[in-house]
Amino acid sequence: MDFEHVKKITILGQGVMGPDIALCFAIVGYEVTGVDVMEKPLERAAQKTSLNCQQMVEGGILTAKEAINAQDRITRTLEWEGSVSSSDFIMEAVPEDMETKQVVFSKCDALCSKDIIIASNTSSMSITRIASNGSSGKGYNRPLDDSGSPEPYGGNRLWRKDICRDKGYDF
């Protein structure tokens, strides 16, 4: 993804997938805030990111400087309202529970401008059921790798690719 106007990305959920998604965005230069509702996942996310960066340096994927810079671009916090309201792009990576995802999207709707894309990291749930706003879904495979950008998909009343491109989002 290449979003010229996007400077700040928020990843909601720092459990299984959130830290890896945050790192992917940080590696390519985005400022990322990883948000969770508990401190323990934030601590584990920082450890996971550090280990992943170390492995990428050892594997020749990143230089030591690139790994440090990527880690420095990631901030982790429990305070999600400020993170969400000041974000240019939001990726939800909370557990695969419909009610939890619906609550997250509802809160984001209340805090975000209507032109913000709120994406969901779900592989099995209906985006239309999760969110009734202009949101999109993105499926990531675990572990995340360099196999290319995930394919965005939508549901009823959701962003279409041509509309996203017209708004400057390049999927």
Query: What pLDDT digit, counting tens, does each position of 31-61 carry?
Result: 999 999 999 999 999 999 999 999 999 999 9
Maximum CA extent, the chain: 45
Residue 30 has pLDDT above 80, yes or no: yes
Query: What pLDDT digit, counting tens, does each position of 68-122 carry?
Result: 999 999 999 999 889 988 999 999 988 777 777 878 888 888 888 777 888 887 7
Domains identified in the chain, total number: 1
Where residue 123 falls among pLDDT bands split at 50, 70, 90?
A: low
How does DSSP assign the chain, residue by residue? -EETT--EEEEE--SSSHHHHHHHHHHTT-EEEEE-SSHHHHHHHHHHHHHHHHHHHHTTSS-HHHHHHHHHTEEEES-HHHHHHT-SEEEE---S-HHHHHHHHHHHHHHS-TT-EEEEE-SSS-HHHH-SSSEEEE---SS--SS-PPPEE--TT---HHHHHHTTEE-
- For residue 40, the domain's CATH number is 3.40.50.720
What's the domain range around 99? 2-170
